[in-house]
Amino acid sequence: MVGRLLDEDPELAYEHAQAAVQRAGRVDVVREAAGLAAYRTGRFAEALRELRTVRRLNGSSEHLPIMADCERGLGRPERAIALSQEPEAETLDAAGRLELAIVVSGARVDLGELDAALATLATPAVRGAKGVAAVRVAQARSAALEAAGRTEEAAAELAAYSAAQLAEADGGVADDEDDVVVYDLVEDESEDESDDESEDESDDDSGDAVEGGVDEVLPGSTDGVEADVAEDADTSASAAPGDGAEGAGDEERA
């Protein structure tokens, strides 16, 4: 549930992660989910603590870029840079090193080291990024250029990308696409429910549901069967010969 909700509802994803931690706090993937959810909701100190725990549990440093970004979020850019210089940073894959470079560039901007920020993003590995990663590099370079007062160059970095690409790089989804998906789902569910109700009414009229057994009767439909039985009983009683006293005697004998 944390994985499914992290993009669309990070706060709810965080609540699921906390529930998981209460049940299995010594499992590394559980603490990892808690750390990522805390990071996405801006709880940087908590995220850093959780990801450090993950690091102790499984020995992996794959979340080093996020840990460095948490240090930035806590107003400690120098610690973010220090994390990037640890030996474990060399164990990151290409995507991890790219993410770490983006974080370090931001930390350099925080410290006012603008030339160093741009130099961090000028290496062949970083400039060779493709797809969404390339857009994120361009955004980072644009931010550094903007901070340096080079507004035209900053705008040029982003000019090659559409608004949809920039939104995707930020982790967002275009509003029109999201609305279409939600509308289709709701419409399909409504049609399915209408079809089910039509089929249920047809089954009730023909009596097939009762003849097919209890498993085929929908929840709540047994009330109607009981009512029919009670009505038949009342009809039989009222049609019996004799007055009230004789009827009572008949009931006692029965």
DSSP string, 86-135: SGGGGGS-HHHHHHHHHHHHHHHHHTT-HHHHHHHT-SHHHHT--HHHHH
82 with 115, same domain? yes
pLDDT of residue 243: 46
Residue with tokens 């900053």: 154
Based on the fold, state whether residues 183 and 252 are members of the same structural domain: no
In order of 88, 101, 144, the CA distances from 96 in angstroms are 11, 9, 21
Q: Which domain holds residue 251?
A: 220-254
Same domain, 54 and 151: yes
What phi and psi values does residue 65 have, to the nearest 5 degrees?
-60, -40
| The last residue of a domain, from among 116, 147, 173 | 173
Q: What is the sign of the dihedral through the CA atoms of 226, 232, 235 and 236?
A: negative
Same domain, 157 and 183: no
Same domain, 60 and 156: yes
pLDDT of residue 196: 53
Q: Is residue 69 domain-shared with residue 169, that is, in the same domain?
A: yes
Measured CA to CA, the distance from residue 70 to residue 7 in angstroms comes to 18
Give the pLDDT score at 170: 82
Using CB atoms within 10 Å of the CB of residue 159, give its burial: 0 to 12 exposed, 13 to 18 middle, 19+ buried: exposed
Which CATH number covers residue 89? 1.25.40.10
What is the rounded CA–CA span in Å between residue 37 and residue 145?
31
Which three-class secondary structure state does DSSP give residue 9?
A: coil
pTM above 0.75, yes or no: no
Number of domains composing the chain: 3
Are 128 and 227 in a shared domain?
no
DSSP state of 218: P
Residues 10 and 117 in one domain: yes
Task: Please answer whether residues 105 and 72 qualify as being in contact, where contact means their C-beta atoms are separated by less than 8 angstroms.
Answer: no
pLDDT at 197 (0 to 100): 52
195 and 107 together in one domain: no
Residue-level pLDDT at 103: 97
Shared-domain flag, residues 203 and 154: no
- Residues 142, 183: one domain? no
Same domain, 100 and 141: yes
How many angstroms separate the CA atoms of 201 and 154, rounded? 65
Binned average pLDDT, 10 residues per bin, the chain of 254 residues: 95 98 96 97 98 95 97 97 95 95 97 96 93 95 96 95 91 44 43 51 46 41 44 44 43 42
Type of residue found at 77: P
148-157 contacts at long range (C-beta below 8 A, 24 or more positions apart): 148/114, 148/118
